[in-house]
Chain A
Amino acid sequence: MTEVDVKLIAEGIKTAIDKISCEVEPSCFAALSAARDSEKNPTTRFALDVMCKNVAYAQQAHLPVCQDTGMVVVFLKIGQDVKLTGGFLDDAVNGGVREAFAPLRKSVLDPVSRVNTKDNTPAVIHTSIVRGDKIQAEIMLKGFGSENMSQLYMLNPAQGLETAKDLIVRTVESAASNPCPPVIIGVGLGGTFEKCAEMSKHALFRKIGSDNPDPVLDALEKELLGRINSLGIGAQGFGGATTALGVFIESYPTHISSLPVAVNVLCHCSRAAKFTVDEGGVSHE
C-alpha cells in the first residue's frame, strides 16, 4: 500500500492548468503548422497563419491561447494499491481548478438558474481503479464552441458500421465553421449511452499522428479522416484542405440490440496534459 496525499493531485492539477491554458498540445500545434504550410486557399491560409501566430504568441507571452479556457475534464486512473490521504479526492481536484482559474475566465454555471459558480468548479471527474500503486491523471480544458457540436447516436444493429461512419462525417459537416476547425474528432463506438460518450471524450487525449493499436480501428480512423478532409470545410469554415487534424476511436463491447456512436468535437487548440502522482511526488509528462 502506497500513501499519496491528495494535495499532490491538487498541485498537479493547478500546474497543468497554468501550462495548458497558455500552451497548445505540441502534436496539435505541429499539425496546425503543417496545415498552414500546405493550404492553397489564400483566405484560409491567412486564417491558419493567424491561428499559428496566436499559439506561438500565447506560449511565449504566457497568455491564455483562447478566451474560452473551458470546463475542466479530468480522467484519473487510480492504482488499487494507493491509499489516498490528506482529504477528499474530488475536493483536491476542484481546489486545484479553483486556484488555477483565478486569472482565467470563469465559464461554469448552474444549468437551471444560469448563476455562475465564479471559480470554474466543479470539474468533470472520471475515476477508474487500475492495477498498481500510482495515479495517472489526464486533464483537458474543454471549450464549448466545439463541445456544443458533439453528438451521440443510438443506432440499431441493422444500420451498422456504414451508417455510423456516415453519421460521424455528417456531424463534422453540420458543425461546419462553428467548432473552430480544423477540428479533432473523438469517437466512441459501443458500450452503453454514457460509456460511449466518455470514450469519445477520452479519445481526444491521443497525440495527433499516432496510430490506433487496433489495426481495424486504425484503418477506420484513416478512412474517416480522409472523408472529413474531403468535405472542404477548411480552417474556420473558409474552405480548404484541412477540416480535421485527427480522428481517434475508442471502442467497447455493446448490447446485441444496439450500436452506440458518440462524436466529441474538439477545436484546433487542444489544451491537454498528463501527469503521474506517486510516493515520490508529481511528474508532468
Chain B
Amino acid sequence: MSETRLRMPFDKEELKRLKAGDNVLLSGEMFVFRDAGHKRLFASIEAGKPDIDYVGETVYFMGPCPAQKGQIMGSCGPTTSCRMDKYTPYMFDHGLAAQVGKGKRSKECVDAFVRNGGVYFAAIGGAGALYSKCVTAVKEICYPDLGTEAIRRITVKDFPVVVAIDSTGASIYKD
C-alpha cells in the first residue's frame, strides 16, 4: 500500500499511474457539489451555457455542515456517488479529470473513466469532522439557494483518499 501526494488540478499522466487501492493525499482546489447541484448544472448545459467550466477539474460529492466556530468549513465527508452516476459519463467525456465520493459506480461510469483516463477516488464516508481539518479555503461559486447543495470550490491540504477505480477500470470494490 503506497501513499502518494498529488496536486489538483491533476497532471493527466500522474493520474494514469495510479492503481486501485493506492492511498493518496490530495492538495489543491476542487469543485464540491452533489445531487441538486448536478441537476441544475445539467439544466444549464442543456440550455447551451454551462454555469461552470470543469475541464481538467475534480468534483467532490459532498454537502457540508455549516462551519462551527473557528472552522473554515464544517464537517465535510463524502456522500454516496452512485446517485450521480447518471451525470458522470457526460462530464468525463467533456473533460472532467476525477471525482471523489464513496461507494461503487455503474459500468457506464467505469467505461467513461477508462475512455478518458479518469480516476474515481473514495473518501472515507462518515469521517466529516476529520476532513474539515484539511480544508484551507472555501469559495461559493453558484446556486446559493441550494444551501448545502450549492456549488463550491474548496482548497484542501493532504486530504486522504483511496483510489477506488483507476484509469484502467480496475476497482477496489468487489463485483
Q: Which residues of A approach B to under 8 Å, CB–CB? A: 22, 42-43, 46-47, 50-51, 53-54, 57-58, 61-69, 103-107, 114, 116, 118, 145, 148, 176-180, 232-233, 236-239, 267-269
Assess the A58–B129 pair: CB atoms within 8 A.
yes
Assess the B65–A105 pair: CB atoms within 8 A.
yes
Instruction: Say what secondary structure dominates the interface of chain B.
Output: loop
Assess the B162–A46 pair: CB atoms within 8 A.
yes
List the B residue with the shortest CB-CB distance to A234.
Answer: B174
How many interface residues does chain B have, given as a range?
Answer: 35 or more
List the A residue with the shortest CB-CB distance to B69.
Answer: A103
Assess the A116–B147 pair: CB atoms within 8 A.
yes
- The answer, yes or no, to whether B102 is at the interface (CB within 8 Å) is yes
List the A residue with the shortest CB-CB distance to B162.
Answer: A43
Assess the A180–B126 pair: CB atoms within 8 A.
yes
List the B residue with the shortest CB-CB distance to A180.
Answer: B125
Instruction: Say what secondary structure dominates the interface of chain A.
Output: loop
Starting from the known contacts A22-B129, A67-B77, A267-B126, 12 additional A-B residue pairs (CB-CB under 8 Å) come to A51-B124, A54-B124, A54-B128, A58-B75, A65-B129, A67-B65, A145-B125, A177-B103, A236-B122, A236-B124, A237-B174, A267-B125
Which B residues touch A232, using CB under 8 A? 174
Query: B82: which of A50, A106, A107, A178 is its contact (CB, 8 Å)?
Result: A178
CB distance from B41 to the nearest CB of A (A): 15
- The answer, yes or no, to whether B152 is at the interface (CB within 8 Å) is no
Assess the A64–B74 pair: CB atoms within 8 A.
yes
Which B residues touch A236, using CB under 8 A? 102, 122, 124-125, 162
Q: A46-B162, A47-B162, A103-B66 are in contact. Are A63 and B104 (CB under 8 A)?
A: no
List the B residue with the shortest CB-CB distance to A237.
Answer: B173
Q: A46-B23, A106-B148, A176-B103 are in contact. Are A51 and B82 (CB under 8 A)?
A: no
